[in-house]
Structure 1
Amino acid sequence: MAVKKGQRFLVPFDVAFPEGAGLIGEIEKVFTFNERRRQYTTDQDVDTETGLLKWKARLVDYSDDVRGSDTGIDLVFLSPVQPIPPEGRRIRDIELEGLMVQPRVTKVGDFSKLTYSYFATGIKGDNSGAKRPAGEKAA
Protein backbone atom coordinates (compact mmCIF):
# COMPACT_ATOMS: atom_id res chain seq x y z
CA MET A 1 0.00 0.00 0.00
CA ALA A 2 1.45 3.38 -1.00
CA VAL A 3 -0.10 5.42 1.82
CA LYS A 4 -0.50 3.67 5.15
CA LYS A 5 -3.47 4.16 7.45
CA GLY A 6 -2.79 7.00 9.87
CA GLN A 7 -0.15 8.59 7.61
CA ARG A 8 0.72 12.20 8.50
CA PHE A 9 1.57 14.69 5.79
CA LEU A 10 3.82 17.73 6.21
CA VAL A 11 2.02 20.94 5.23
CA PRO A 12 3.56 24.43 5.15
CA PHE A 13 1.86 26.69 7.71
CA ASP A 14 1.02 29.28 5.03
CA VAL A 15 -0.83 26.64 2.99
CA ALA A 16 -2.91 25.33 5.89
CA PHE A 17 -3.56 28.77 7.41
CA PRO A 18 -3.19 31.42 4.66
CA GLU A 19 -4.69 34.15 6.88
CA GLY A 20 -2.90 32.92 10.01
CA ALA A 21 -4.06 31.20 13.18
CA GLY A 22 -4.53 32.07 16.83
CA LEU A 23 -3.95 30.00 19.95
CA ILE A 24 -6.96 29.96 22.27
CA GLY A 25 -6.10 29.49 25.95
CA GLU A 26 -3.12 27.47 27.13
CA ILE A 27 -1.18 24.41 25.96
CA GLU A 28 -1.88 21.41 28.20
CA LYS A 29 -0.66 17.83 28.65
CA VAL A 30 -2.50 14.98 26.94
CA PHE A 31 -3.06 12.18 29.43
CA THR A 32 -3.08 8.47 28.59
CA PHE A 33 -6.50 6.83 28.45
CA ASN A 34 -6.83 3.41 30.11
CA GLU A 35 -9.26 1.44 27.91
CA ARG A 36 -9.83 -1.28 30.49
CA ARG A 37 -10.79 1.12 33.27
CA ARG A 38 -12.40 3.62 30.86
CA GLN A 39 -10.63 6.59 32.48
CA TYR A 40 -7.60 8.83 32.05
CA THR A 41 -4.43 8.08 33.99
CA THR A 42 -1.96 10.57 35.48
CA ASP A 43 0.65 9.57 32.86
CA GLN A 44 1.30 11.89 29.95
CA ASP A 45 0.52 10.32 26.57
CA VAL A 46 3.37 9.58 24.17
CA ASP A 47 3.10 9.56 20.38
CA THR A 48 3.67 6.00 19.15
CA GLU A 49 5.24 7.13 15.87
CA THR A 50 7.81 9.62 17.22
CA GLY A 51 8.14 8.72 20.91
CA LEU A 52 7.53 12.39 21.83
CA LEU A 53 5.19 13.69 24.51
CA LYS A 54 1.77 14.97 23.45
CA TRP A 55 0.50 18.46 24.31
CA LYS A 56 -2.94 19.73 23.28
CA ALA A 57 -4.01 23.17 22.16
CA ARG A 58 -7.02 24.83 20.54
CA LEU A 59 -6.55 27.05 17.49
CA VAL A 60 -8.78 29.41 15.56
CA ASP A 61 -8.35 29.66 11.78
CA TYR A 62 -8.46 33.32 10.66
CA SER A 63 -9.43 32.50 7.06
CA ASP A 64 -12.60 34.25 5.86
CA ASP A 65 -13.94 31.17 4.07
CA VAL A 66 -13.87 29.02 7.24
CA ARG A 67 -17.15 29.02 9.16
CA GLY A 68 -19.02 27.21 11.89
CA SER A 69 -17.40 24.29 13.65
CA ASP A 70 -14.44 24.39 11.23
CA THR A 71 -13.06 27.61 12.77
CA GLY A 72 -11.88 25.86 15.96
CA ILE A 73 -9.13 23.30 15.49
CA ASP A 74 -7.73 20.83 17.99
CA LEU A 75 -3.96 20.58 17.64
CA VAL A 76 -1.50 18.14 19.18
CA PHE A 77 2.08 19.28 19.72
CA LEU A 78 4.68 16.49 19.60
CA SER A 79 7.53 17.69 21.75
CA PRO A 80 9.88 16.57 24.56
CA VAL A 81 8.94 19.71 26.55
CA GLN A 82 5.87 21.94 26.68
CA PRO A 83 5.88 24.53 23.87
CA ILE A 84 5.74 28.10 25.18
CA PRO A 85 3.40 30.41 23.24
CA PRO A 86 4.02 34.14 22.91
CA GLU A 87 2.78 36.40 25.69
CA GLY A 88 -0.61 37.94 25.15
CA ARG A 89 -4.29 37.85 25.81
CA ARG A 90 -6.73 34.97 25.47
CA ILE A 91 -6.15 34.54 21.69
CA ARG A 92 -2.54 34.86 20.56
CA ASP A 93 -1.31 34.88 16.96
CA ILE A 94 1.08 31.99 16.37
CA GLU A 95 2.94 30.34 13.52
CA LEU A 96 3.42 26.59 13.79
CA GLU A 97 6.58 24.70 12.87
CA GLY A 98 6.61 21.13 11.62
CA LEU A 99 2.88 21.23 10.83
CA MET A 100 1.42 17.87 9.82
CA VAL A 101 -2.11 16.79 8.95
CA GLN A 102 -3.61 13.32 9.19
CA PRO A 103 -6.82 12.63 7.23
CA ARG A 104 -9.59 10.80 9.05
CA VAL A 105 -13.27 10.12 8.58
CA THR A 106 -15.77 11.17 11.24
CA LYS A 107 -19.40 10.17 11.38
CA VAL A 108 -22.05 12.86 11.83
CA GLY A 109 -25.42 11.17 12.18
CA ASP A 110 -25.93 9.06 9.06
CA PHE A 111 -23.24 10.89 7.12
CA SER A 112 -19.46 10.57 7.01
CA LYS A 113 -17.18 13.58 6.73
CA LEU A 114 -13.49 13.85 5.85
CA THR A 115 -11.66 15.82 8.55
CA TYR A 116 -8.05 16.23 9.58
CA SER A 117 -6.08 15.80 12.77
CA TYR A 118 -3.42 18.50 13.17
CA PHE A 119 0.04 17.97 14.66
CA ALA A 120 2.98 20.36 15.07
CA THR A 121 6.47 20.13 16.50
CA GLY A 122 6.72 23.70 17.77
CA ILE A 123 5.87 27.39 17.61
CA LYS A 124 7.96 29.86 15.64
CA GLY A 125 9.90 32.03 18.09
CA ASP A 126 9.63 29.53 20.97
CA ASN A 127 12.94 28.99 22.78
CA SER A 128 11.73 26.33 25.24
CA GLY A 129 13.62 23.53 23.53
CA ALA A 130 10.39 22.10 22.10
CA LYS A 131 11.51 22.44 18.47
CA ARG A 132 12.31 19.25 16.62
CA PRO A 133 12.14 18.70 12.87
CA ALA A 134 8.95 16.89 11.85
CA GLY A 135 9.35 13.13 11.69
CA GLU A 136 12.56 13.07 13.76
CA LYS A 137 12.56 10.33 16.38
CA ALA A 138 13.20 11.08 20.04
CA ALA A 139 16.62 10.16 21.42
Structure 2
Amino acid sequence: MALQGPIPVAHEHVFPHGCYVTGEVSQVMDFEASTPDRQVPARDKTTGLPVWQVPVMDGDPSVKVAAKSLAVKIIAVDEPVVPPVPPALEALGLSMVPVVFEGLAVVPWINGSGDRVRLAYSYRASGLRGVVPSAGAAGAGKGKMPFNGE
Protein backbone atom coordinates (compact mmCIF):
# COMPACT_ATOMS: atom_id res chain seq x y z
CA MET A 1 0.00 0.00 0.00
CA ALA A 2 1.43 3.37 -1.00
CA LEU A 3 -0.17 5.39 1.81
CA GLN A 4 0.86 4.37 5.30
CA GLY A 5 0.85 6.38 8.50
CA PRO A 6 -0.04 10.08 8.64
CA ILE A 7 -1.02 11.56 5.27
CA PRO A 8 0.35 15.10 4.74
CA VAL A 9 -2.34 17.64 3.81
CA ALA A 10 -2.41 21.39 3.30
CA HIS A 11 -4.12 23.37 6.07
CA GLU A 12 -6.37 25.16 3.56
CA HIS A 13 -7.62 21.83 2.19
CA VAL A 14 -8.76 20.65 5.62
CA PHE A 15 -9.96 24.05 6.89
CA PRO A 16 -10.92 26.13 3.81
CA HIS A 17 -13.08 28.43 5.98
CA GLY A 18 -10.49 28.78 8.71
CA CYS A 19 -9.75 27.08 11.99
CA TYR A 20 -10.11 28.65 15.44
CA VAL A 21 -8.47 27.61 18.71
CA THR A 22 -11.17 27.50 21.39
CA GLY A 23 -9.19 26.47 24.47
CA GLU A 24 -5.79 25.81 25.95
CA VAL A 25 -3.00 23.52 24.82
CA SER A 26 -2.67 20.43 27.00
CA GLN A 27 -0.20 17.58 27.09
CA VAL A 28 -1.59 14.23 25.96
CA MET A 29 -1.15 11.43 28.48
CA ASP A 30 -0.17 7.88 27.57
CA PHE A 31 -3.31 5.90 28.38
CA GLU A 32 -1.55 2.54 28.59
CA ALA A 33 1.53 3.65 30.58
CA SER A 34 -0.32 5.90 33.05
CA THR A 35 -1.75 4.72 36.36
CA PRO A 36 -4.24 6.46 38.66
CA ASP A 37 -1.28 7.58 40.79
CA ARG A 38 1.15 8.49 38.01
CA GLN A 39 0.35 10.17 34.71
CA VAL A 40 2.85 9.49 31.92
CA PRO A 41 3.07 12.02 29.06
CA ALA A 42 2.53 10.52 25.61
CA ARG A 43 5.34 10.49 23.07
CA ASP A 44 5.04 10.20 19.33
CA LYS A 45 5.89 6.64 18.24
CA THR A 46 7.92 7.82 15.24
CA THR A 47 9.85 10.83 16.56
CA GLY A 48 9.79 10.27 20.32
CA LEU A 49 8.68 13.89 20.79
CA PRO A 50 5.99 14.93 23.30
CA VAL A 51 2.39 15.02 22.08
CA TRP A 52 0.21 18.07 22.80
CA GLN A 53 -3.38 18.77 21.82
CA VAL A 54 -5.42 21.88 21.24
CA PRO A 55 -9.21 22.16 20.87
CA VAL A 56 -10.32 23.84 17.66
CA MET A 57 -13.48 24.74 15.78
CA ASP A 58 -13.82 24.30 12.03
CA GLY A 59 -15.05 27.54 10.44
CA ASP A 60 -16.95 25.75 7.66
CA PRO A 61 -20.65 26.72 7.96
CA SER A 62 -21.75 23.50 6.20
CA VAL A 63 -20.17 21.19 8.81
CA LYS A 64 -22.68 19.65 11.23
CA VAL A 65 -22.55 21.00 14.78
CA ALA A 66 -21.39 17.66 16.20
CA ALA A 67 -18.39 17.66 13.84
CA LYS A 68 -17.36 21.32 14.24
CA SER A 69 -15.24 20.80 17.36
CA LEU A 70 -12.17 18.61 17.31
CA ALA A 71 -8.70 18.36 18.80
CA VAL A 72 -5.51 18.64 16.77
CA LYS A 73 -2.46 16.88 18.17
CA ILE A 74 0.82 18.73 17.88
CA ILE A 75 4.10 16.83 17.94
CA ALA A 76 6.72 19.22 19.36
CA VAL A 77 9.55 19.41 21.89
CA ASP A 78 8.05 22.42 23.66
CA GLU A 79 4.45 23.26 24.48
CA PRO A 80 2.96 25.15 21.52
CA VAL A 81 1.94 28.73 22.28
CA VAL A 82 -1.44 29.92 21.05
CA PRO A 83 -1.25 33.51 19.74
CA PRO A 84 -3.37 36.18 21.43
CA VAL A 85 -6.93 36.83 20.31
CA PRO A 86 -6.87 39.38 17.46
CA PRO A 87 -8.18 42.79 18.61
CA ALA A 88 -11.01 42.71 16.03
CA LEU A 89 -12.37 39.47 17.51
CA GLU A 90 -11.72 40.54 21.09
CA ALA A 91 -13.75 43.72 20.45
CA LEU A 92 -16.69 41.47 19.53
CA GLY A 93 -16.30 39.53 22.78
CA LEU A 94 -14.96 36.43 21.02
CA SER A 95 -12.11 34.42 22.51
CA MET A 96 -11.41 32.27 19.45
CA VAL A 97 -7.97 32.53 17.87
CA PRO A 98 -7.63 31.93 14.12
CA VAL A 99 -4.62 29.72 13.41
CA VAL A 100 -2.89 27.87 10.62
CA PHE A 101 -1.40 24.45 11.37
CA GLU A 102 2.07 23.73 10.04
CA GLY A 103 3.03 20.22 8.96
CA LEU A 104 -0.62 19.12 9.08
CA ALA A 105 -1.38 15.44 8.48
CA VAL A 106 -4.51 13.33 8.64
CA VAL A 107 -4.48 9.90 10.30
CA PRO A 108 -7.33 7.57 9.31
CA TRP A 109 -8.46 5.05 11.92
CA ILE A 110 -11.31 2.61 12.56
CA ASN A 111 -13.85 3.82 15.13
CA GLY A 112 -16.17 1.30 16.74
CA SER A 113 -16.53 -2.46 16.52
CA GLY A 114 -18.91 -5.11 15.24
CA ASP A 115 -21.65 -3.71 13.01
CA ARG A 116 -21.01 -0.11 14.08
CA VAL A 117 -17.63 0.43 12.46
CA ARG A 118 -16.81 3.63 10.60
CA LEU A 119 -13.75 5.32 9.23
CA ALA A 120 -12.67 8.29 11.34
CA TYR A 121 -9.83 10.78 11.09
CA SER A 122 -7.52 12.44 13.56
CA TYR A 123 -5.30 15.40 12.79
CA ARG A 124 -1.73 16.06 13.82
CA ALA A 125 0.66 18.90 13.11
CA SER A 126 4.21 20.02 13.82
CA GLY A 127 3.15 23.49 14.96
CA LEU A 128 0.69 26.35 14.69
CA ARG A 129 0.86 30.04 13.98
CA GLY A 130 -1.47 32.97 14.22
CA VAL A 131 -3.31 34.42 11.27
CA VAL A 132 -3.23 38.10 10.35
CA PRO A 133 -6.72 39.51 9.63
CA SER A 134 -6.99 40.45 5.97
CA ALA A 135 -8.40 43.75 4.74
CA GLY A 136 -11.44 41.97 3.27
CA ALA A 137 -12.22 39.87 6.34
CA ALA A 138 -15.66 41.41 6.82
CA GLY A 139 -16.67 40.65 3.26
CA ALA A 140 -15.14 37.22 2.87
CA GLY A 141 -17.25 35.17 0.51
CA LYS A 142 -18.14 31.50 0.48
CA GLY A 143 -15.04 29.36 0.26
CA LYS A 144 -12.79 32.20 1.39
CA MET A 145 -10.90 32.20 4.64
CA PRO A 146 -11.85 35.29 6.65
CA PHE A 147 -8.17 35.62 7.54
CA ASN A 148 -5.22 35.15 5.27
CA GLY A 149 -2.63 32.53 6.13
CA GLU A 150 0.33 34.82 5.59
- TM-score in terms of structure 2 length: 0.72
Structure with the larger helix share: 2
- Give runs of aligned pairs for residues 90-105 of structure 1, distance below 5 A: 90-105=95-110
- Give runs of aligned pairs for residues 87-126 of structure 1, distance below 5 A: 87-88=84-85, 90-107=95-112, 110-125=115-130
Structure 2 regions of 5+ residues with no counterpart? 86-93, 131-150
Aligned mate of 1:42, from 29, 39, 42? 39
In the alignment, structure 1 residue 85 sits paired with structure 2 residue 90 = no
Measure, in 1, the Cα distance between the counterparts of 2:48 and 2:71.
20
Alignment deviations for residues 73-96 of structure 1 (CA, whole Å, 9 cap, x no partner): 121100000010111253211111
Measure, in 1, the Cα distance between the counterparts of 2:104 and 2:26.
18
Query: Taking every aligned residue pair, what percent have the same amino acid on both sides?
Result: 27
Measure, in 2, the Cα distance between the counterparts of 1:76 and 1:55.
5
Structure 1 regions of 5+ residues with no counterpart? 126-139
Number of equivalences = 123
Cα RMSD (Å) of the superposition? 2.4
- TM-score in terms of structure 1 length: 0.77
Measure, in 2, the Cα distance between the counterparts of 1:63 and 1:21.
8
- Give runs of aligned pairs for residues 1-139 of structure 1, distance below 5 A: 1-4=1-4, 7-34=5-32, 39=36, 41-88=38-85, 90-107=95-112, 110-125=115-130
Measure, in 2, the Cα distance between the counterparts of 1:81 and 1:15.
27
Alignment deviations for residues 8-58 of structure 1 (CA, whole Å, 9 cap, x no partner): 011000000000000111001112223695x48333211011111100111
Asked if the contact 2:34–2:40 (Cα under 8 Å) also holds between the matched residues in 1, the reply is no
Larger Rg: 2
